[in-house]
Structure 1
Amino acid sequence: MNPHTFDVVRGTSASRTALIVAVLLVALAASLPFWGESSWMREFVEIACYFIFAMMWNLLAGYGGMVSIGQQAFFGFGGYVMLMLGNFLGLNPFVAIPLGAAAAALIAVPVSFVAFRLSGGYFAIGTWVIAEVFRLSFANLSAVGGGSGTTLTALRGIEKATRENTTYWMALACVVAAIALVYLFLRSKRGLALLAIRDNEVAGESQGIPVARMKLAVYVVAAFGAGMAGALYFVGNLRISPDAAFSVNWTAFAIFMVVIGGIGRIEGPLVGALIFWAMNKFLSDFGTWYLLGLGLLAIVVTIYFKQGLWGFAQQRWGWSLFPTQRRLVLPMPSTEKRPAPVSSTPHLEIPAHAKHQ
């Protein structure tokens, strides 16, 4: 073997084991409507919406370096497009979910012309202002209920069990698609280009990376995922209003989940979504103490686990369920050329006349 050759390793034993476990879990989850309770499916749909929205925010900010606090604009827009397609055009709302996501991606293109004129903190505040413009615009549309909102009437002719089962399967498919899409994107050359842009735009552009085009692509993909999460959420909720759809709490929750789980990691939003759902489920009855608990947890994690809970576990034990980095492994030298083993403890010769001193 040529001693100058090396191997590029992208997977780990943990990732291969995780893939097998994930396939088994998805197969088990797909059968839940046949043996589980309807409350379990509703809880899963809620977790799925949290996770997908947090995953898209992590892609935009954690990998792309574009910190936005206005992603709820595309969340609500996807939900409203789904409702209008169902109520006004008679389209099946489940078919309208991907169409609502596509509409959010399309509207993100002209929005980006305004948002990308800003940078840093101005970009974050600007996206929030854009989201407020969306909220006020839909609040003045009487056709969709104005400020009080309206109900998704397109599902009236569908039985409750069929509606819940289909919503659950759609949520499961959207979760798998979101993970696979982000994972494959980050493992590609475009993923490397995105990380280079996040670290230093000027250096990335000097290496031939189309910075503006890459940022636009990531912004549009993040809007698509946020729109899909919004359409899915309001199919399960059956009612939509501007205050619920375009609330800044959606982005605040996404930031909380990503920071708690670990920003810049695919596993981070998953861990953060589970923790946020558990706290929301079991502590929300305590009122303001619940919000104080969320803030206290965020403070503890940011002080003692600066890279998030999963980031700490990855550094401590080397866990990586979705490895995106490339590792170079140098081959071991042949046995003929390998030097004689050297003891880790040096051996010192002591002269005879010094042994008695």
Structure 2
Amino acid sequence: MTDGPRPPLDDAQCAASLALQDAAPAPARRRRRPGPSWHEPPRGVKIASYLLMAAALLVVMWQGMLPGLLTVCLGFLLTRWLTARLAWLPQRGAGSHGGISGAASVAAALVMLSPLLLLALGLSQSRSYIVAAPAQYRELLDFLARTVLELRLKLPPDIAAQLPEGAAEIQRIIAGYLGAKAGALAIAGRVWLAGVLYAYVGLLIGALAAVRAQGRAHGPLAQELTLRVARLGDAFRQIVAAQFWIASFNTLLTALFLLAVLPLWDLPLPYTPALITLTFVAGLVPIVGNLLCNAVITLVGLSVSPAAAVACLAFLVLIHKAEYVINAKVVGQRTHMGVWELLSVMFVAEAVFGAAGLVAAPLFYAYLKKELEAERLV
């Protein structure tokens, strides 16, 4: 090591340094100070930490554990956020000696038990829905049949002949499709169930990691891995915050259009509350969520009239263009990513990893840019 000037530390390095100092014994804490006393680790240790982090992220993608990774980050951030809001709770005796405080314990319990409580509440409230499911299924078939019959009257005869004639034929087509895809649906159900399990286990891991008791000081490799994980968590926090505001803006404009503009033109759409909810939930997924919402709302508008479909499509194109500007401002300022970068990375990730790549691409690319910026390579 030379005595020359060292590069200034970034936020993640400072946070990791402070966390490691808190984990050290009391005499070591008195001898160490944040900032200038931080020493650059050996180059081999740093390269090993990069390789381990890259290998872990690749295993997550190849083994379908992305829901678990996302919920680990979510559980960690939620627990830390709740701990700060519950600081008024009385501290236990061990809290001042490296143990877990009462606020942290309550926050972790709330995060870990909230999915179970929501599931129990949903099951208790779904009894009437299950009883009314056959009637709702019949109502949906009738609605689809009316839409198809209207299209048969408006389309040319050659095209109209390819459409089903009524609810019975629609039901027969759906039953035939489900029978032909029974194996694929069973595999999809198992994958979905495994994803839910990974997500809940990840939530538990994130909550427990957020309230772990501070122990002894770690070695250089553990310090570097802590820094890698801290930067990944910071990227996740920025991506979630930016996408939340974008989805909220998109949902607000969509709600005004569906609840105010279309009724004003005497073109109200059915299932408006469900469409607004879908807009927000799907809007949390960059780019792809908007395309899904656009397709669903346009199809529902087509069931009302061609004029409603054209109005929906025109509005969604306008809001999508406006969202590009917001995306460039919000996401770009928080993560230093341009829209063209995000689209390019998502395209490549989707080609390699499928739908999971679309979800993981913004997070992984934001993390990569953080590492490159910390090394002053970009």
Bin the TM-score by the shorter chain.
under 0.3
State the TM-score, normalized to the length of structure 1: 0.25
State the TM-score, normalized to the length of structure 2: 0.24
Where relative contact order (Cα < 8 A, 6+ residues apart) is larger, the structure is 1
